[in-house]
Structure 1
Amino acid sequence: MTSAELSHDAFLGGLLHLWQPRKGYRAGVDPVLLAATIPAVSGQRVLELGCGVGAAILCLGARVSGLSLTGIEREESYAQLAARNGDGALEVITGDIADLPLTLRQRQFDHVLANPPYWRRDASVAADDPTREAALGEQTPLSVWIEVAAKRLAPKGYMHVIHRAERLPDLLAALPSYMGSVEVLPIAARHGRAAERVILRARKEGRADFRLHGPLILHRGDVHLDGDQYTQEVRDAFRTGASLVF
């Protein structure tokens, strides 16, 4: 892509800047929220499935230093941008998660994260832009995303997935039997609103009871107003790279 086709956007209050296309799929708040919930510590290995331009995994790397970061992305143009954004700190592999390269199938990670496409195309209309469609339209079944993430985890490793709330039953049904200590964080726009997103956490060989957390509320007040209306914990995650306790 040419420079005119790209924007250089600030994330985490300027702690991180990402090149991404001006048109097509652009990273929003979901990858930032996902990254903020991952309890990674320095020295651990992290894999993102479908990393796009690297928003989620690089937000995590900006918050926690000393991580070994790897992403796999099917769209070559986005993989190239992810490598550029990582500037040597992110290993980017171009490939399909449904047919992982041998270099990944032989490795295990302490954390695997994913922001799979949200829309089932048997019940929705495809996007006109091919990159938006690749990011938003479910071509690889959600169950495959979960299976691949689970297989790449080291013992006691954590999986984190963000998705639409109505797909929670599908997420839970797809978990292999060896994935336990399941937790769900609903995400709602405002108090009193139904959750629109969920973050699923599961641990390989985990044995803790299932936990359904209270919702993470994104905005203060009952109605939309101009200006920054984020709740304090969400603002801290977006503006300073703070973690979200989950």
Structure 2
Amino acid sequence: MPEAAADLWLGGRLRLTQPPRGAHRAGTDAVLLAALLPPEPGAVVCDVGASSGAVGLAVALRSPRCRVVLVDRDPELAAYARRNAEANGLSSRTTVIEADVLAPGLRRHADGLTPGLADLLLTNPPYFEPGRHRPSPVAAKAGAHTFSDGGLADWMRCCVDLLRPQGRLGLIHRADHLPACLDALRGRFGALAIRPVHAKPDQPAIRILVSGVKGSRAPLRLLPPVILHTDGGQFTAHAAALNEGRGWVDASGESA
């Protein structure tokens, strides 16, 4: 792994070493996903597609009674995740699994992705399927943004397998991919809650935050949006708090 200065996350509470600039690096999407669903005490939280561990480690830091499992198929990224867990004193509550989410079930299970592993699963899947856009010339960034094979439905098949019955799912995706997300979740999750994310109040949504419960039959809800910036370009009070590791995406949630 190339040596790099650690980024300071959550108001400096989390030190995160990431791949060099130019590769995929955790940013606002990871902040939002990590703050989406507060885990129950003692819960096992699985971060699928964890990269250097930003989402799962942020949850572990904010929720000291949970355990986290970080999943990535890239050995170099898994090494970053292990380094970050150790650097932040979270190794005792963190497991890093190198496994391909899109591999056949028997292979996934043998690699440690066992059924019913998690109470809460958080994921930021690749945004594009092969042939649907022009991938980045940077291999690491292309791998984070584009499925090498399979697609979102295959990714979600692994996620539902990893969750225990009635386990909770949280994901972030591009706003224009909402129909594909609903298709991939149909028949697998209920109690779906969709929250759009807007860069500014008068602009279209750029992301969606989706949560659901495995096996639930409860109806879908469309929730109020998250607004990231004021018209002047500053973080809104809510977005600033999330970046500092305070509160949750649901502004009525209990602060961490």
State the TM-score, normalized to the length of structure 1. 0.92
Per the TM alignment, residue 170 of structure 1 is displaced from its structure 2 partner at its CA by 0.6
Match of 1:188 in 2: 198
Instruction: Assess if the C-alpha contact under 8 Å between 1:182 and 1:201 holds in 2.
Output: yes
Instruction: Assess if the C-alpha contact under 8 Å between 2:175 and 2:206 holds in 1.
Output: yes
Distance 1:215 1:106, change over 3 A: closer
Per the TM alignment, residue 205 of structure 1 is displaced from its structure 2 partner at its CA by 2.4
Match of 1:129 in 2: 138
- 2:198 is the alignment partner of 1:200: no
Question: Which moves more between the two structures, 183-192 or 83-92?
Answer: 83-92
Hey, which bits of structure 1, 4+ residues long, moved more than 6 A? none
Output one character per residue of 1:62-83: Cα deviation in whole Å (capped at 9) or x when no partner: 1111111101101110000001
Match of 1:47 in 2: 46
Q: 3-state SS of the aligned residue for 1:43? A: coil
CA distance in 1, matches of 2:189, 2:25: 31
Percent identity, aligned pairs only? 30
Match of 1:12 in 2: 10
CA distance in 1, matches of 2:202, 2:170: 25
Distance 1:82 1:193, change over 3 A: same
Match of 1:90 in 2: 94
Match of 2:254 in 1: none
Equivalences for residues 51-200 of structure 1 within 5 A: 51-87=50-86, 88=91, 89-99=93-103, 100-102=108-110, 103-139=112-148, 140-200=150-210
- Of the candidates 234, 239, 245, which is equivalent to residue 240 of structure 1? 245
Instruction: Assess if the C-alpha contact under 8 Å between 2:116 and 2:161 holds in 1.
Output: no
CA distance in 2, matches of 1:70, 1:238: 22
Output one character per residue of 1:45-93: Cα deviation in whole Å (capped at 9) or x when no partner: 1111110000111111111111111011011100000011112132111
Higher strand residue share:
1
Q: 3-state SS of the aligned residue for 2:229? A: coil
Per the TM alignment, residue 207 of structure 1 is displaced from its structure 2 partner at its CA by 3.0
CA distance in 2, matches of 1:37, 1:123: 28
CA distance in 2, matches of 1:175, 1:120: 17
Letter in 2 for 1:141: G
Which ranges of structure 2 fall in alignment gaps of 5 or more residues? 252-256
Output one character per residue of 1:109-151: Cα deviation in whole Å (capped at 9) or x when no partner: 1111110112334232111111111111222401111111112
Q: 3-state SS of the aligned residue for 1:59? A: helix
Per the TM alignment, residue 218 of structure 1 is displaced from its structure 2 partner at its CA by 0.5
CA distance in 2, matches of 1:107, 1:215: 31
Per the TM alignment, residue 34 of structure 1 is displaced from its structure 2 partner at its CA by 0.6
Distance 1:174 1:84, change over 3 A: same
Equivalences for residues 206-225 of structure 1 within 5 A: 206-221=216-231, 223-224=232-233
Per the TM alignment, residue 176 of structure 1 is displaced from its structure 2 partner at its CA by 4.4
Output one character per residue of 1:29-56: Cα deviation in whole Å (capped at 9) or x when no partner: 1011011011312200111111000011
Per the TM alignment, residue 98 of structure 1 is displaced from its structure 2 partner at its CA by 1.2
State the TM-score, normalized to the length of structure 2. 0.88
Match of 1:21 in 2: 19
Instruction: Assess if the C-alpha contact under 8 Å between 1:52 and 1:79 holds in 2.
Output: yes
